[in-house]
Every structure is written in structure tokens, then in C-alpha cells.
Amino acid sequence: MIAVPLSFVTALFLVEARGWIGELLGHGVDLLAAIPSIIYGLWGLFFLVPFMQVHVQPHLEWIPFMGRNYNGFGFATAGFILAVMILPFICAIMRDVFRMTPPILKEAAYGCGTTRWETTVDVTMRYGARGLLGGIFLGLGRAAGETMAVLFVIGNTPEIPKALFDSGTTISATLASNFAEANGVFRNVLFALGLILLLMSLGIQVLAQWWLNYSTRKVEGEK
């Protein structure tokens, strides 16, 4: 919900920006993808967590399903960190998709009197639907298995959360924090959690491939 709209707008701006501005900002987005996940986790721990604790959580408690946790940690903070992490990947793919659209199609749309936004939605997105969806699912797969960045800011509490501001943990974070000293049945449980995470990742890939094939057949049927 956070990364996809921001990635779309950012990619569109990078493609439409003139001259060196688009190139410079594009290189900046590419550099964000090269930052190790633990750096994002440290940034979230020392900057985002205090910001959420002071400026966000106390003022949004009236919204349903947000909760009354004011320590800065929680699923909302971890979700924001993941959104920042996967944004460069999705944005880079969307930018390449926008650039691969034949200029003659866009010029024809402009000639019919469409605006830049209408051309992007009706021409560019339809032409590169497979690439856009592929980028989204690639970012989702990256977020599903992320460990260190989430471990720093989610609270690491083995409880089922009732609100977005509540602390908790994920499968990957549980494996990272408990596997070293695990033995006996507990180690078997961690192996089972790893199998569940593997099946989840496989399910995302299968769903992505099915959706891409479905969208391709739909577009070919419309043609």
C-alpha cells in the first residue's frame, strides 16, 4: 500500500523529468537498492522508532486497528521500513517499463488530445502490464523474507498482534533470533517455520506467474 503508489509516481517522474535531473535522481534510486538491509534496520531503530513514538502513535490512536502502543516499535514501523526497502526495486522495474513503451504510441495518444496522466494510465500501463506486475511481485517477495531490518523495529515479541502499533515478530525474525541456541523440539519447530516461509515464497511466485499469464491472455483476447 505504501511502496507501490510511491514507486509508480517516482518512476513516472524519473521518465518524464528533463535532462540530467532524471538521470541524477535515477542513479540515487538505484543506490538505495544497494544499501544493506541492516543499515535500514539501524536507521529505523535510531530515527524512525523515536519519530513514531513521539509524532505518530500518540496522534493516531483514534483510528480503528491502530492500537495504543507508544514505544515506537510494532508492525506499522516494520511495514514502513519494508516499504522503503522494496521501493527502489519496484521503481527501477517500472521506470524501465515506462521507457520501453514505443514513443509512437504515446505520440498518437497525445495527438488524440489525452493528457500526460491519461496517456500513462491508458497506454503505458496497458502496454507494460506484465512488467509492472512483475516488479510488484518482486518487491513482495523481497519483503516476505526480510529479516534483519524487521528484527530491529518490530519489537520481537512472540505474540499475535491485535493492532498495527502492537509489537510482534515474523517467521524470519524468529529464526534469526532463536536458531543459535535452539535444540530438541524447539529446533524442529524452527525448521517447520522455515518450511512454512519457503511455501509462502513459493506461493507468491506461483501466484505471480498465474497473474502474469492471465493478464497476457486477457490483453491478447482484447486485441
Each residue's pLDDT tens digit, 157-175: 888 888 888 888 888 888 8
Mind listing the pLDDT tens digit for each residue in 90-110?
Answer: 998 888 888 888 888 888 888
CB 133 within 8 A of CB 211: yes
pLDDT band at residue 22 under the 50/70/90 scheme:
confident
State the chain's mean pLDDT as an integer: 85
- Among 117-121, 141-145, 194-198, 215-219, the range scoring the smallest mean pLDDT is 215-219
| Distant-in-sequence, close-in-space partners of 96: CB < 8 Å, separation ≥ 6 | 131
Q: Which three cell numbers stand for residue 6?
A: 510511491
Higher pLDDT, residue 189 or 122: 189
Say if residue 217's pLDDT is above 80: no
pLDDT(223) > 60: no
Alpha helices in 67-168 (DSSP H): 75-100, 103-111, 116-119, 125-127, 129-144, 148-153
Confidence of residue 199 (pLDDT cuts 50, 70, 90): very high
Give φ, ψ of 155 to 5 degrees. Answer: 105, -25
Question: Could you read off the pLDDT of 57-73 as tens digits, one per residue?
Answer: 888 877 878 877 788 89
CA distance 197 to 143: 12
Most confident segment among 50-59, 109-118, 185-194: 185-194
Summarize the confidence of residues 211-221 as an average pLDDT. Answer: 71
Q: Give yes or no for a contact between 123 and 209, defined as CB atoms under 8 angstroms apart.
A: no
Give the span between the Cα atoms of 132 and 99, in whole angstroms: 12
Ordered by where they begin, the domains of the chain are: 3-222 (1.10.3720.10)
